[in-house]
Chain A
Amino acid sequence: MNDILLEVKAVSKRFGGVAALKGIDLVQHRGETLGMIGPNGSGKTTFVNVISGHTKPNSGTVSFDGRSVSGTNPFQIAKAGLTRTYQAVRVFGELTVRENVATALVDARDAASQEAVAEIADWLRITHRFDKPAGSLTLMEQRQVELLMRLVQKPKLMMLDEPVGGLSSAEVRTMIGVLSELKGRCTIFVIEHTMKVIRELADKVVVLMAGEKLAEGPPAQILADQRVIDKYLGTADA
């Protein structure tokens, strides 16, 4: 657990007059589950957008698995093994689940890929929905499809932006189970407002506040940190 998968140095991003990220430094090791918390508007999604290549930072560097990915195209970063999900679930709504998954595969007809898909779809319990248009599925099912699409690509790092947003408490429990299982397959980075997820999954937590890193450390320590409680946890759903 000591090789570095993601290294972020002094990343800053402004949108017009607003500084969304101010000099963020962060390190994530392979196999280390990183949680990111913070109030709305603190820059968490912008952070993911910068790492995944959707937004170009104004300054700073990002390196992934030993290679610099600053300024690289999103699709190349994805091919390098870094994938992400979206805060508002995003699938190809008009295509069937089967077609959605096929899009994520390099070669949909390859037997090994097909087996991998079958196996993952099975433990996600989404197989019975394969021929439905993805847009017609429930939120939980769509989130599962999102995960399936990422997992079949065998990513090294999965950045999940509020994976339990909008789910019922039973669904949240299921998703926490899914995500723990996921930890065995790739390294994950989770942004969340629901502290239960962070507490049960994260090895390290980073707190973002108004574009700056307020604190960093193991969950127990962070969640007990007075500054964090004062500025954020008082309002968060723990």
Chain B
Amino acid sequence: MTPVTEKKDLSLLAKGHGLPLACFAVVAFATPFLLSGNRYFAFVAGVTMIHILWASGMNLLYGYTGLMPLMIAGLAGISAYTVVGLTASGWSFWLALPVGALAASISGIILGLPSLRLKGFYFTLCSLVIQTVVTLGFIYFSGLTNGDTGISQIPLPSMGGGQPLSGLAYDLVLSAAAVIGVIVLIVIVKSTLGRRLIAIREDDELAGMLGINVTGYKMIAFFIGSLFAGVGGALYAPYIGFISPRSFDVLISMNIWLMVAFGGRGTIWGPVIGAILLAPLSFLLQEYYTVKDILYGLLIIAVIVLMPAGIAGGFLRKKKESAPPLDVPATPRGAK
């Protein structure tokens, strides 16, 4: 008799994600060594690792739960400012990091919770408004955040022996964060939680009818996604050395969304690929932000019009994850 679901079998995991995961881990940890000669490239790789973490968080919410929370950058910012503030008051970075990440998660739930009842566009609009309020908050409460000027010369975290965490060591920490993030996402997606989030994405009313606490699960997804945002934000601040409200504004949220949509939402590796392609591009085009804006705007349009399932959706259609629906997050029910 055919079993209902595949047993949680390591051999099956190996058939599914084991190999790509191993490859990814090897590449992630090797890259800092390979690039250690050129600080600039190593730095870009490090920033990309943070974006892989962020994209995975966004993927959990957008790809697997069907929510498009455009305030993810704001949440990363809440974590970053919290960590910077705490370390400035003498806290160890390593203690501040979980606090910052938790601040992001809790903010994520508080800010996200009321809007969880909203459908599709209204939810996205609400998240956009929340993101704008958060950015305005960062600018306005300059007593805490130094406003638009930003905070510079953020000190590096220190390692065991009092040495500052820099260069190769920091790069490796970021690689580890990215790899762990992807592993966590894989574990979630394969679990009951993941199955239910996918059901919620497909048809949340039917999911509720089957006994699934839709709001509860969305909150869990929010908590975890915000955690990813927060950990990334905490690691980002000392790495770049400078943060300002612009570092965590709506454009950053849109960029992270684009990595997921372009790479292929609802797949594990699509957003990773999306981050690997778009994060360095974003960084390198920093100076030419007008070109970047035009290019990214075109990419957004291209994704919506031409390839709603992203790169991964087109080429690497995996049988284990369900094929993502053709249009942007929504339930396949009648119009209006």
Q: Which residues of A contact B (CB under 8 A)?
A: 52, 54, 73-76, 78-79, 83-84, 90-96, 98-99, 101-109, 113-115, 117-118, 127, 130, 133, 149, 153
Residues of A with C-beta under 8 A to B3: 114
Residues of B with C-beta under 8 A to A103: 195-196, 199, 207, 210, 212
Residues of A with C-beta under 8 A to B208: 73-75, 78
Q: Is B102 an interface residue (CB 8 A)?
A: no
Residues of B with C-beta under 8 A to A104: 210-211
Tell which of B195, B213, B214 touches A102, judged by Cβ atoms closer than 8 Å.
B195
Can you list 15 A-B contacts (CB < 8 A)? A75-B208, A75-B209, A75-B212, A79-B211, A94-B202, A94-B323, A94-B332, A102-B4, A103-B212, A104-B210, A113-B4, A114-B4, A115-B1, A127-B2, A130-B2
Assess the B211–A75 pair: CB atoms within 8 A: yes
Query: With contacts A78-B209, A102-B4 known, is A93 near B332, CB below 8 A?
Result: yes
Residues of A with C-beta under 8 A to B210: 78, 83, 103-104, 149, 153
Which residue on chain A has the smallest CB distance to residue B323?
A94
The A-contacting residues of B in range 1-23, CB under 8 angstroms, are 1-5, 7-8
Tell which of A95, A108, A118 touches B1, judged by Cβ atoms closer than 8 Å.
A118
Top 4 nearest A-B pairs by Cβ distance?
A78-B211, A108-B5, A118-B1, A103-B199
What is the bound-complex CA distance between A91 and B206, given in angstroms?
8
Q: Is B152 an interface residue (CB 8 A)?
A: no
Q: Is B327 an interface residue (CB 8 A)?
A: no
B16 to chain A, nearest CB (A): 14
Query: With contacts A74-B208, A99-B322 known, is A109 near B5, CB below 8 A?
Result: yes
A133 to chain B, nearest CB (A): 8
Tell which of B205, B209, B332 touches A83, judged by Cβ atoms closer than 8 Å.
B209
Q: Is B203 an interface residue (CB 8 A)?
A: yes
What is the bound-complex CA distance between A113 and B202, given in angstroms?
23
What is the bound-complex CA distance between A109 and B7, given in angstroms?
6
Assess the B202–A108 pair: CB atoms within 8 A: no
Assess the B2–A108 pair: CB atoms within 8 A: no
Residues of A with C-beta under 8 A to B205: 54, 74
Residues of B with C-beta under 8 A to A115: 1
Give 16 A-B pairs besides A84-B209, A95-B202, A153-B210 with Cβ atoms closer than 8 angstroms: A74-B208, A75-B213, A78-B211, A83-B209, A94-B323, A94-B325, A98-B2, A103-B199, A104-B210, A104-B211, A107-B192, A109-B5, A114-B4, A130-B2, A149-B210, A153-B211
Q: Which residues of B contact A (CB under 8 A)?
A: 1-5, 7-8, 192, 195-196, 198-199, 202-203, 205-214, 322-325, 332
Residues of A with C-beta under 8 A to B206: 90-92
Assess the B4–A98 pair: CB atoms within 8 A: yes
Assess the A95–B198 pair: CB atoms within 8 A: yes
Tell which of B5, B199, B211, B214 touches A92, judged by Cβ atoms closer than 8 Å.
B199
Residues of B with C-beta under 8 A to A54: 205, 209
Assess the A90–B4 pair: CB atoms within 8 A: no
Which residue on chain B has the smallest CB distance to residue A110?
B4
What is the bound-complex CA distance between A122 and B5, given in angstroms?
16
Which residue on chain B has the smallest CB distance to residue A146?
B206
A141 to chain B, nearest CB (A): 16
Which residue on chain A has the smallest CB distance to residue B7?
A109
What is the bound-complex CA distance between A83 and B209, given in angstroms?
7
Query: With contacts A78-B211, A149-B210 known, is A90 near B2, CB below 8 A?
Result: no
Residues of B with C-beta under 8 A to A101: 4
What is the bound-complex CA distance between A209 and B243, given in angstroms?
66
Tell which of A92, A108, A114 touches B192, judged by Cβ atoms closer than 8 Å.
A108
What is the bound-complex CA distance between A108 and B324, given in angstroms?
22
Which among B206, B207, B211 has the highest number of chain A CB atoms within 10 Å?
B211
Which residue on chain A has the smallest CB distance to residue B320?
A99
Which residue on chain A has the smallest CB distance to residue B5?
A108
